[in-house]
Amino acid sequence: MTTREQWIAGARPKTLPAAIAPVLVGTAFAGYNATVLHTFLALVVALGLQVGVNYANDYSDGIKGTDTDRIGPMRLVGSGAATPKDVRNAAIISFLIAATAGLVISSRTSWLLLIVGALAIVAAWTYTGGPKPYGYQALGEVSVFIFFGIVATVGTYYIQVESVSREVLLASFAMGALACAILVLNNLRDLEKDQVADKKTLAVVMGDQSTRDLYKWLMFFALVMSVVLTFFSYFYLFALISLPLISKSVRSVSAGAHGPALIELLAKTGRIQIIYAAALSFAALLVAR
């Protein structure tokens, strides 16, 4: 693997659907009031934060020795492929790109968004960094639900129309659940190693079977949200197109998939989120027609 390929792998591209999907949904719910510029800027913010938090986690876990002898995605610091300083700088650059795009958005909409953006960057860094990383206290899923679910989806909608609706809030719950499902699989894969490293993820606290059950309920919760949205329009049932894929993925996790199989399921869950988001977005555009 070349140095370039290592850095791309270190950015953990399989997690990027968690950043793209809420922007897609938030834009679609804004309907034909959405602008290409604001959508692009929201996407830059979301991807910058996602890549930034991935590099920040690599750096923080690497210097603590948590990433030694791991399966799964490339660990730049843990594997010795890059220095801690270089990985830290990559995280900072990613956050700066997100912050710059966020600054432009704020100047065009509301300066209050700067506070939200600052909180998002702090949350991204302190997930595994700082003296008391909350990712080591079983709070990672809570943060993902808030920032890659509610904030990303509703925030994208807000910068397009400068208001909030009940429909987009419900959609943001679905996006948060699917993003959490990706993290749950990630932590399930690393459960044994995290126990040894004294990294108290939610998976470590709940145990193997309960974590698998949590994945199942998160996936089906997203489907429930599409049904709840039928109070506004039956078009939202289009999101149920993802049901067969969700059922297949849930069966695999419930059957005890582990190791490399979980890595494959993590990627599939990311694709499911994109498919769900695309179907929900199509429905939202039909409603806005």
What is residue 37's predicted lDDT score, i.e. its pLDDT?
Answer: 96
Give tens-digit pLDDT for 198-253.
888 999 999 999 999 999 999 999 999 999 999 999 999 999 999 999 999 999 99
Number of domains in the chain: 1
Instruction: Specify if 129 maps to a domain.
Output: yes
Using left for φ > 0, alpha for ψ between -120 and 50, and beta otherwise, residue 31 falls in left
Instruction: Specify if 186 maps to a domain.
Output: yes
Please identify every stretch of the chain with a pLDDT value under 70, giving residue numbers as ranges: 1, 67-72
Dist CA 47 CA 27 (whole Å): 15
What is residue 69's predicted lDDT score, i.e. its pLDDT?
Answer: 61
What is residue 67's predicted lDDT score, i.e. its pLDDT?
Answer: 61
What rounded mean pLDDT belongs to the chain?
Answer: 92
What is residue 88's predicted lDDT score, i.e. its pLDDT?
Answer: 95
Backbone angles phi, psi at 200, to 5 degrees: -90, 80
Dist CA 258 CA 193 (whole Å): 13
Instruction: Specify if 92 maps to a domain.
Output: yes
Residue 84, domain extent = 18-288
* CATH number of the domain enclosing 252: 1.10.600
Instruction: Specify if 3 maps to a domain.
Output: no
Instruction: Specify if 87 maps to a domain.
Output: yes
Dist CA 131 CA 122 (whole Å): 13
* Helix pair 113-126, 152-161: axis angle to 10 deg: 160
> Using a CB cutoff of 8 Å and minimum separation of 24, what contacts does 203-208 make?
204/138, 205/138
Q: How many other β-carbons are positioned within 10 Å of the β-carbon of residue 4?
A: 8
Instruction: Specify if 214 maps to a domain.
Output: yes
pTM of the shown model:
0.93
Inter-residue contact 73 to 98 (CB < 8 Å) = no
Instruction: Specify if 133 maps to a domain.
Output: yes
What is residue 239's predicted lDDT score, i.e. its pLDDT?
Answer: 96
